[in-house]
Copies of this chain bind each other. A is one copy, B any other.
């Protein structure tokens, strides 16, 4: 239907119409919040704020930029591992994220921060972080279908994905009042099951026709490590970006830092064990090392304690690597779920673990450890009578909501994507940039790379033929 399928007008129209709709909706609904508005000087005076440095910008902007890098470089490059789908990995990731974050600002605004008096959504740096988070859910889902869908299918996936995200997030964070600052449930569990279910609906029985494209080459694996490392390094910023000012952000960063270090060791241990020769598998290093960050998404801001963070990382490295070794083949063979990037092992499972860890940690909270529980769990207003035990229950309920939204939403959206109008690639063209990208003509380079001896032989052959 668009981008490389001889009918580009539809694709172009889709982008134009959508972007114009965004402009109109932003014009109607979106305004600067009081900290990014020129009236900030009056706000400051009113709130007795003595310095510009107390603008939320300075609390959150460095974390925002780290998250931004994770979304565009992290997710984008993590998926470049395929030998001939790197353009699609990094390019469609770029397109989808830019598309999704605008819609996310609107959807999240309507659900979370629509001002009832003015009917406006007021945005600041925290809104940008939340929009990036929302998009992350869809990019996770992209990992499951990488190389098997058209860019327009990705846009549709993202359109619905962002919508579903905003609703489940509203239910989990606002109605259930669960805490999930780093999004174990809201982002990773939802995104993981959403992508897996879509991939299940779009099952391709003859995908082995493009088997020659389903591997990496040496340098594409290095490119993927750029993605891995930026995700890994900046994950402490991800989990602390929207936690409470002060000790909240501080603690979330420390916990995530520790958890991820622990994950690397157990990932390497299991990866080496998985091969008869004891060699390491790049797929595990690229992916499973990140599972700890996912699994600490909920509990990072809690007093899980440093050794608690290490324990979570310890098990996640094991489980995620085991997932690549045992569960992914099982999912593909038995459940007919083709999961290109193994998001089940990197996001879905660790996300569920994260939800459980969060529920347990919350339920085990005590005033002796936390001081006033109000500060961390925000037991105010409608929730002022909540105990940590019920909070633990609501956390668990939140996780179920995210799974349900992922699976049911994925099934519906998958069905829509099965309609034969989206220009998805044929089985033999999967994982091939050729379908959607003008590729550089590499023949000349290869000509040059022929060693002299072969050129000589060429010459000889021609001479022989002449004879």
Task: Please give, as numbers and ranges, the residues of chain B lying within 8 Å of A26 by CB-CB distance.
Answer: 258, 306-307, 310
Q: Tell me, rounded to whole Å, the shortest Cβ–Cβ distance linking A128 to chain B.
A: 6
Interface membership of A55, Cβ < 8 A: yes
Q: Mark A200-217, 1 if CB is under 8 A from B, else 0.
A: 000000000000100111
In the assembly, what is the distance between CA of A51 and CA of B52, in Å?
A: 12
Report yes or no: A229 in contact with B35, Cβ–Cβ below 8 A: no
Number of identical monomers bound together in the oligomeric complex = 3
Interface membership of A385, Cβ < 8 A: no
In the assembly, what is the distance between CA of A221 and CA of B89, in Å?
A: 13
Report yes or no: A442 in contact with B449, Cβ–Cβ below 8 A: yes
Report yes or no: A217 in contact with B250, Cβ–Cβ below 8 A: no
In the assembly, what is the distance between CA of A94 and CA of B102, in Å?
A: 35
CB < 8 Å neighbour of A273 from B9, B41, B102, B260: B9
Q: Which residue of B lies closest to A27 (CB)?
A: B307
Q: Mark A1-34, 1 if CB is under 8 A from B, else 0.
A: 0111111110110111011101110110011100
In the assembly, what is the distance between CA of A39 and CA of B58, in Å?
A: 23
Q: Which residues of chain A (230-288) have a CB below 8 Å from chain B? A: 230, 232-234, 236-237, 245-247, 249-251, 253-254, 257-258, 260-262, 264-266, 268-270, 272-273, 275-282, 285
Q: Given A260-B98, A440-B221, do A460 and B461 touch, yes or no (CB 8 Å)?
A: yes
Q: Which residue of B lies closest to A269 (CB)?
A: B15
25 A-B residue contacts at CB 8 Å?
A5-B278, A6-B278, A15-B266, A26-B307, A36-B247, A38-B303, A38-B369, A38-B376, A39-B247, A40-B250, A41-B371, A42-B371, A61-B249, A62-B65, A90-B229, A94-B285, A98-B260, A102-B258, A128-B253, A212-B444, A217-B440, A226-B226, A275-B438, A279-B437, A449-B449
CB < 8 Å neighbour of A450 from B83, B258, B451: B451
Report yes or no: B454 in contact with A458, Cβ–Cβ below 8 A: yes
Q: Which residue of B lies closest to A211 (CB)?
A: B444
Contacts A8-B275, A65-B66 given; 17 further ones with Cβ under 8 A? A37-B247, A52-B246, A58-B58, A61-B253, A87-B218, A87-B222, A91-B280, A94-B229, A98-B261, A99-B264, A123-B254, A124-B254, A128-B254, A215-B441, A218-B440, A218-B442, A446-B449
Task: Please give, as numbers and ranges, the residues of chain B lying within 8 Å of A72 by CB-CB distance.
Answer: 229, 232-233
CB < 8 Å neighbour of A237 from B65, B245, B272, B443: B65
Interface membership of A59, Cβ < 8 A: yes
Q: Given A218-B442, A262-B22, A449-B446, do A253 and B5 touch, yes or no (CB 8 Å)?
A: no
Interface membership of A336, Cβ < 8 A: no
Interface membership of A419, Cβ < 8 A: no
Report yes or no: B123 in contact with A371, Cβ–Cβ below 8 A: no
Q: Tell me, rounded to whole Å, the shortest Cβ–Cβ distance linking A99 to chain B.
A: 6
Interface membership of A69, Cβ < 8 A: yes
Report yes or no: B458 in contact with A4, Cβ–Cβ below 8 A: no
Q: Tell me, rounded to whole Å, the shortest Cβ–Cβ distance linking A460 to chain B.
A: 6
In the assembly, what is the distance between CA of A250 and CA of B83, in Å?
A: 41
Report yes or no: A450 in contact with B443, Cβ–Cβ below 8 A: no
Q: Tell me, rounded to whole Å, the shortest Cβ–Cβ distance linking A322 to chain B.
A: 13
